[in-house]
């Protein structure tokens, strides 16, 4: 199990605590410190089955002032996310060939149940 984590984010800390309480061995990726490449983000989006637009933090001032009025293609948006990791919604959980945007935490709980069913 892998979590793309921002330790300063309460929702991200909640998700990490949940995974630990469930007994998962968790690899923590501090994506603000270890920038994701565009390919990393693209691969992750495929696993969580979301478009880049769905993981953008649209309330961030950087987004509002610099990018919100632009008509961006998916690959351009992925490049923006790679270069501006503060715009990536969190936490994102990756497990094998799937994953989930764990905001709200209920998404993670449902994903955990699904993973448990697949492993039984």
Catalytic site residue 9?
yes
Whole-Å CA distances, 42 to 52, 70, 71, 94: 8, 20, 19, 13
Instruction: Give the 3-state secondary structure of residue 28.
Output: strand
CB-based contact 67:81 (threshold 8 Å): no
28-32-37 Cα angle (round to 5): 90
Catalytic residue among 7, 9, 26, 59: 9
Catalytic residues, by residue number, are 9
């Amino acid at each position: 199990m892998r979590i793309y984590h921002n330790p300063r984010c309460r929702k991200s800390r909640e998700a990490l605590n949940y995974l630990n309480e469930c007994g998962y061995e968790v690899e923590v990726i501090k994506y603000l410190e270890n920038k994701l490449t565009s390919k990393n983000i693209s691969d992750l989006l495929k696993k969580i089955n979301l478009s880049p637009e769905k993981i953008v933090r649209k309330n961030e001032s950087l987004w509002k002032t610099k990018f919100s009025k632009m008509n961006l293609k998916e690959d351009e948006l992925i490049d923006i996310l790679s270069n501006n990791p503060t715009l990536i919604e969190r936490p994102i959980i990756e497990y094998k060939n799937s994953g989930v945007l764990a905001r709200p935490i209920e998404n993670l709980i449902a994903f955990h149940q699904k993973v448990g069913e697949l492993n039984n």
